[in-house]
Amino acid sequence: MYEKHFGFREKPFSLLPDPAFLYLGRQHSLAYSLLEYGVLNHAGFTVVTGEVGCGKTTLIRHLLNHLDEEVTVGLISNTHKRFADVLAWVLMAFGLDYESGGPVRQYQTFVDFLVTEYTHGRRVVLIVDEAQNLDASALEELRVLSNVNADKDQVIQLVLVGQPELKTTLEDPDLRQLAQRVVAHYYLLPLSENETAHYIRHRLVHAGGSPNLFTDEACQQVHYYAAGVPRLINLLADTALVYGFAEDAQEIGADLVQSVIDERAAGMNLGSPPVLSPVTEQQAAAVDPKPQPSVSGDSPSNDGVGCNPSNSRPLVSHVGGKMPRR
């Protein structure tokens, strides 16, 4: 719709996870490094958690695109609250027969597969996205499946990716055996204001446009209302481009972004703008601005990633009003 007007080859702000557009700022670089560390060093469990829309799935897609042929990957991405028959889902993730035979036959199929891959010098990695939907019993079943080993080698590695609820579940005392096997854990926070500007310009350039299409003030406005959450940044920036195209604008300024916020709020009859509300100073203070990854065998409740679980909360508040002028 607006691609030709702004000189894009493709839309720069899709809501679908696209590893081609991945912005590897400080946080996402650290998270990706830990994912690589977990795979290359035969870690039992690697965990990445973060709020909705912070780019976890995009990181996983990027990882999948960069693994070599010596790694056999199974991906489970459609978990839900009533997720059961974990072994059958694992078999399906690796393209194995999951319909014939009972639990014993299925388990033997799984073990035979692991032994075959190990014999041929291939590592096996199971990635579970949206893992916050797994209850304690499902996570414990994954731990039991990970017990298969050959001499000193771990023949299957697991990567769990999910929202903060996953971190809470892993702190359950009944899962302490699994928690002790978590070698690396990273909590992914929303982008800072500076990172948001770089993120916007990165995506503009990758799509073939000008990095200066959004003014500095517009980037500040987008960050303020999207609270640094990449998915919300994409939503707001994409809508601003639609408005800019309709007004034949040559750049996206702060006033245009504010118009998007105000009109979306009015259209949804919310009473007071904006739909995407700013993060409060109190909420911002609750999050350490310099998160550090954990690489250890300790419980993830003490992972030192710069986010106190008791302070974990959605960073998009319900406070209305306009962005204060600087």
pLDDT digits (tens), the chain, 326 positions:
899 999 999 999 999 989 999 999 999 999 999 998 888 888 889 999 999 999 999 999 999 999 988 999 999 987 877 777 899 999 999 999 998 888 899 999 999 999 999 999 999 999 999 999 999 999 999 999 988 876 677 889 999 999 999 999 999 999 999 999 999 899 999 999 999 999 999 999 999 999 999 999 999 999 999 999 999 999 999 999 999 999 999 999 999 999 999 987 766 543 433 445 444 434 443 333 344 455 443 333 333 333 333 333 222 322 234 454 45
Helix 193-206 vs helix 230-246: angle between axes, to the nearest 10 degrees?
60
Q: What is the pLDDT, as a whole number, of residue 296? A: 46
Write down the pLDDT at residue 258.
Answer: 94
pLDDT for position 280: 40
Q: Which residue has the tokens 């259209």?
A: 267
Q: Edge to edge, what strands does the sheet with 71-76 contain?
A: 71-76, 123-128, 156-162, 45-50, 182-188, 294-295
Task: Specify whether the CB–CB gap between 230 and 55 falls below 8 A.
Answer: yes
Which candidate, 177, 146, 202, places its Cα nearest to that of 24?
Answer: 202
What pLDDT was estimated at residue 148? Answer: 83
The per-residue pLDDT for 167 is 92
- A 10 A CB-CB count for 308 gives 11
Q: d(Cα 12, Cα 194) in Å, to the nearest integer?
A: 19
Confidence at residue 281, expressed as pLDDT on a 0 to 100 scale: 39
Instruction: Give the pLDDT score at 311.
Output: 34
Give the three-class secondary structure for 305.
Answer: coil
Q: Please report the pLDDT score of residue 150 as a whole number.
A: 64
What tokens were used for 235? Answer: 């939503």
